[in-house]
Amino acid sequence: MTSLVVPPSTLGSSFFSWFASSSSNNSLNPPKIFRKTPSNAVALYPISLKSSNRPSFDRFPRTKIWATLGEKDPNGAAPLQVVEESSSSIVDEEVEKSVKVLKDAAKTRRVAAEEVLSALSVLEKAKLDPSKFFNTLGGTSSPGRTWMLIFTAEKKLEKGRYFPLTAIQRFDAAGKRIENGVFLGPIGSLTFEGRMSWKNRILAFIFERIRIKFGPLEPLEISLGKKDEREPSSKDPFFIWFYVDEELAVARGRSGGTAFWCRCRRVNT
């Protein structure tokens, strides 16, 4: 069977509690039974602090305008020359610094929670262009891409913490499938799988079945009784995505909590 594992030494363990958002309980507190990290973790590639894959901005730049009347401006322009100085570079710099903070946090898990919360706030407010988010998140072919949950924050970004368990989410943009799971190495795993849809920056999903695996035994599959084939909508659990590049993804869940993920590898075991 194909399972998802990640390196505890590089990124630490975390548990993706948002798979429970398909029900009415959106608690961020993981059950004690899952407090263990698998030992056979594999990294996709080390987190870099480069931000060359930053999305572009979908906003009109604010401008600073000055005009000279009867004399040249400091740059030698003709009289009555109107000069526009874009402030988008300032916003761009703030985003770049915030992305660096989060990637450093994913790599070391030592960045203070207050710094992580501040970086998440900057990315939420930046209003980046989401046109490339979906394909970056879920790839262009099945089975898609996998991401490990690193940090979760409460509503309004008042508090947050690194997730203590190994939790992976798989997005398949081509097949419009989603899988959330917690992985316990040789002990086993628990995964939720279903279908998803994308509109603008909102990814809605419906879970259809659960798989439970114990040790080397074949997994037990349980249907959740979702027989209708309607497309998931905002009435279902969803994520609102604020930032996605090849290594990092930031989103807010239906309950109002914000989290960020780091790209990880899907391996066969």
Residue with tokens 């399972």: 3
Residue/partner pairs of 155-159 with CB below 8 Å, 24 or more apart: 155/255, 155/256, 155/257, 156/256, 157/117, 157/120, 157/121, 157/124, 157/258, 158/117, 159/113, 159/117
| Token couple for 215 | 């040790």
d(CA 2, CA 207): 19
What's the maximum distance between 2 C-alpha atoms anywhere in the chain? 85
Q: What is the 3-state secondary structure (H, E, C) of 47-70?
A: CCCCCCCCCCECCCCCEEEEECCC
Per residue in 161-208, pLDDT tens? 999 999 999 999 999 999 999 999 899 999 999 999 999 999 999 999
Q: Dihedral (C-alpha) 21, 23, 24, 30: value to the nearest 10 degrees? A: -60
pLDDT tens for each residue of 127-173: 999 999 999 999 999 999 999 999 999 999 999 999 999 999 999 99
**Banded pLDDT at 80 (limits 50, 70, 90):** very low
* Domains assigned to the chain: 2-58+88-268 (2.40.128.280)
